[in-house]
Amino acid sequence: MSLAAVMPPQVGQKPDPGMRPVISFHGVSKTYPNGTEAIRDVDLAIYQGDFCFVVGASGSGKTTLVRLLIREEVASTGRIFVDGQETTRMTRRRLPKLRRKFGIVFQDYKLLTKLTVAQNVAFALQVTKPGQRHLKEKVEETLWIVGLEDKLDTFPDELSGGEQQRVAIARALVHRPRIFLADEPTGNLDPDTSWGIVQLLLQINHRGTTVLMATHNREIVDLCRRRVIAIDSGRVVRDEVEGGYLREGEATI
Amino acid sequence: MRGLLASVRFALVAAGQNFTRNLAVSLAGVFTMGLIMLLVGGTLLLTHTVDAILAQQETQADEIHIYLQDSLSMRTIADYELRFSHDSRVNGVAFTSKDQAVVAAQQRGLQLQPAINTLGTNPLPASIDLHVRTLGDLSQLNTVAKALPIVDTSSGSATDYSPGVIPRLQSVITVTVWVGSALSVVLAVISLVIIMNTIRTAVYIRRTEIEIMKLVGAGDWFVRWPFILEGVFGGVLAAAIGATAVAVAYRFVLSQANTQAFLGVTFDGRYLTAMVLLLLAFGAVLGGFGSFLGVRRFLHA
Task: Indicate the residue among B116, B151, B186 that finishes a domain.
Answer: B151
**Structure ipTM:** 0.75
Per-residue pLDDT tens over the stretch B188-247: 888 888 888 888 887 888 788 888 888 888 888 888 888 889 889 999 999 999 999 999
* Same domain, yes or no: B87 and B220: no
User: Does the pLDDT of residue A127 top 50, yes or no?
Assistant: yes
- Quick one: what percent of chain A has pLDDT higher than 70? 91
Q: What is the pLDDT of residue A250?
A: 67
* Same domain, yes or no: B103 and B138: yes
3 state SS of B113: helix
* Same domain, yes or no: B246 and B175: yes
* Same domain, yes or no: B87 and B178: no
- Those residues whose C-beta lies under 8 Å from the C-beta of residue A102, and which sit 6 or more positions away, are A69, A70, A172, A177, A178, A179, A180, A181, B217
User: Does the pLDDT of residue A22 top 80, yes or no?
Assistant: yes
Q: Do the Cβ atoms of B15 and B226 come closer than 8 Å? A: yes
* Same domain, yes or no: B217 and B284: yes
Q: Do B216 and A98 touch (CB under 8 A)?
A: no
Q: What is the pLDDT of residue B291?
A: 86
* Same domain, yes or no: B10 and B44: yes
Domain annotation covers residue B158 = no
Q: Do B3 and A130 touch (CB under 8 A)?
A: yes
**Can you name the residues that pair with A90 across neighbouring β-strands?**
none
Q: What is the pLDDT of residue A179?
A: 94
Mind giving me the DSSP string for A92-116? GGGHHHHHTTEEEEETT----TTS-
Ramachandran region, residue A197 (left: φ > 0; alpha: ψ -120 to 50; beta: rest): alpha
Mean pLDDT of chain A: 86
Which DSSP category does A91 fall into?
-
Q: Does A56 or A8 have the greater pLDDT score?
A: A56
Question: For chain B, how many structural domains are there in total?
Answer: 2
Residues in B touching A114 (Cβ below 8 Å): none
Domain annotation covers residue B24 = yes
Q: Does B262 or A163 have the greater pLDDT score?
A: A163
* Same domain, yes or no: B174 and B107: no
Would you call B20 an interface residue with chain A, using a CB distance cutoff of 8 Å? no
Residues in B touching A123 (Cβ below 8 Å): 212
Distance from CA of B220 to the nearest CA of A (A): 8
Residue B109 sits in which domain range? 69-151
Pairing of strands A210-215, A179-183: parallel
Q: Do A110 and B208 touch (CB under 8 A)?
A: yes
pLDDT tier for residue B260 given thresholds of 50, 70 and 90 = low
Domain annotation covers residue B14 = yes
Domain annotation covers residue B121 = yes
- Distance of alpha carbon B81 from alpha carbon B98, whole angstroms: 16
* Same domain, yes or no: B170 and B232: yes
Domain annotation covers residue B157 = no
User: Does the pLDDT of residue A148 top 50, yes or no?
Assistant: yes
**How open is the CA angle B68-B70-B71, to the nearest 5 degrees?**
110
- Quick one: what percent of chain B has pLDDT higher than 90? 8
* Same domain, yes or no: B138 and B170: no
Would you call A40 an interface residue with chain B, using a CB distance cutoff of 8 Å? no
Q: What is the pLDDT of residue A8?
A: 37
Domain annotation covers residue B63 = no
Distance from CA of B221 to the nearest CA of A (A): 10
Domain annotation covers residue B234 = yes
- Those residues whose C-beta lies under 8 Å from the C-beta of residue A62, and which sit 6 or more positions away, are A54, A55, A56, A183, A184, A214, A215, A216, A231
Burial category of A23 from C-beta neighbours within 10 Å (exposed 0-12, middle 13-18, buried 19 and up): buried
Would you call A99 an interface residue with chain B, using a CB distance cutoff of 8 Å? yes
Task: Indicate the residue among B109, B124, B151 that finishes a domain.
Answer: B151
Q: Do A130 and B6 touch (CB under 8 A)?
A: yes
Per-residue pLDDT tens over the stretch B69-117: 888 888 888 998 898 889 888 888 989 988 888 888 887 767 778 888 8
* Same domain, yes or no: B44 and B185: yes
Helix axes A161-173, A117-128, angle to 10 degrees: 20
Domain annotation covers residue B36 = yes
- Those residues whose C-beta lies under 8 Å from the C-beta of residue A84, and which sit 6 or more positions away, are A20
* Same domain, yes or no: B147 and B91: yes
* Same domain, yes or no: B33 and B86: no
- Distance of alpha carbon A170 from alpha carbon A180, whole angstroms: 11
Residues in B touching A96 (Cβ below 8 Å): 217-220
Mean pLDDT throughout A169-174? 92
Please name the residues between 194 and 213 in chain B that touch chain A, using a CB distance below 8 Å.
208-209, 211-213
Distance from CA of B22 to the nearest CA of A (A): 15
Superfamily of domain A47-73+95-240: P-loop containing nucleotide triphosphate hydrolases (3.40.50.300)
Of A92, A93, A99, the CB nearest to B216: A99
Of A102, A123, A175, the CB nearest to B212: A123
Task: Indicate the residue among B151, B175, B195 that finishes a domain.
Answer: B151
